[in-house]
Amino acid sequence: MRLSGLVVIVVVALLAPSVARADEVKITARFFDADGWPSLFANFSPDGSRATPSWKRCLPDCGDTVAVSQQYKAGPTAAGTTFEASATVDGVTTTARSTAWNGQVSNTAPPTFDGQALIGQTLTPRRGGWTGGWGDEISLLGMRACPTAAGTDCRAMTPSSIQPGIYPEQIVLDAAYAGWYVGAVERRVTSGSPGPAILYRETPPGQIAALPAPVPGQTVATSPLLGPVPNPPPKASAPVAPTRKATIRKRALRSSSGLSLATLACSADCAATVMVRHGSRTTTRRVVATKARPKAVTLRTGTFPRRATSLRVTIRFDGNKLKTSGVVQLR
C-alpha cells in the first residue's frame, strides 16, 4: 500500500465517558506521553459535571492529592506505582485504582527491516525491543523515507506506523524514492490508544508519500537509514533483428561477368544459399553479402544450355527457414 499526496487528519476525541455504575468515579483511560511517562483520565458517572476527580500516587500506600483534574499527566514515575482517582458527591466518596505502572517506556533494541535499498525491492520492517508502560503496549510499525541522511522531513511510506489497525507494513520501493534514504520506524502505544482518523488513497506510482513519518523520540524508535537509493539501471534496449532481403529479377541482366539473377541486401553481414534450376538440372552456390552494399547473385554464362529460356531461383538465408523463390526470364 502506498500513501497518497492527499491526507486528511480528523481529530479523534481522547476521551469518551465509559459505561459505569451510577454515582462513582472511574479511570476511563490510561496512556503515556511522548516522553514515556503515564497519563490518565477519570470521569464521575453518570454526570461528570458534578465532580472533578482528585488524584493520588500510591507506592504502595497513597500519598497526598497531587492533582484535581479529569486528566492527570504524572511525569516521571517509579515502576510499581499505581494511581487512585476519587470524587465526593453528596457526601459519598468513591475511588478507582489503576493497574501498576512498569516504568518509563524505553526502546531497548531499534527496529530493523528486510530488503535492500534498491528500486523494486520489498521492504519489510521488524519490531525492536521495549520496556516499561502499562503492560498492554503494541507497536505501530512501518517504513519511512527521508530526503537526506540526517532524517528530517521524513515521509510515512506505510500508514501502519501512524494509526493502529492499518496494514500492510511492508512496501515495494518505488522509483520515485531514488536519491532518498529508507528505514523502519516503530511507535509504541497502549492497545487502547486513540489515533487520528487518516483518510488516504493509494499513492500513484512515481510519487512520494505525503504523510509525515513519526519523529524519533522516547516512544518512537527508528532503524538506521540506508541510502541513497540508487537510480534503477536503464532498461536494455531489445536487440534489433537484422534485416535481410532477397530480390529476384523478373528478367536476367546480362553483363561481361555473366547473368545477374537476384540481389541480396542485409543490414548486417549475411550469407545465403542460392539454388538455380532448369529442368532436372540444379546448381547451388553460397553468396555472402555485407551491410555496406547489396550483393548481386550472378551465374556464369554457359552454366545451363543455351536453349534455356528461364531459370527457377530459390534463395534461403542462413538461420531462416523461409525461402524466396521466383522465375527469371533469360529472353
Q: How confident is the model at residue 237 (pLDDT cuts 50, 70, 90)?
A: confident
CATH 2.60.40.2700 in the chain, residues?
22-97
188, 219 Cβ separation under 8 angstroms: yes
Question: Which pLDDT tens digit goes with each residue over 86-128?
Answer: 999 988 999 999 999 999 999 999 999 999 999 999 999 999 9
**Is this model's pTM higher than 0.75 or not?**
no
pLDDT of the residue at 19: 42
- Record: fold of 22-97: Immunoglobulin-like (2.60.40)
What pLDDT is attached to residue 273?
A: 93
Average pLDDT over residues 308-317: 92
Residue-wise pLDDT tens digits, 247-299: 999 999 888 878 899 999 999 999 999 999 988 899 998 999 988 789 999 98
Does the structure show a pLDDT above 80 at 38? yes
Fold for 244-329, please state it: Immunoglobulin-like (2.60.40)
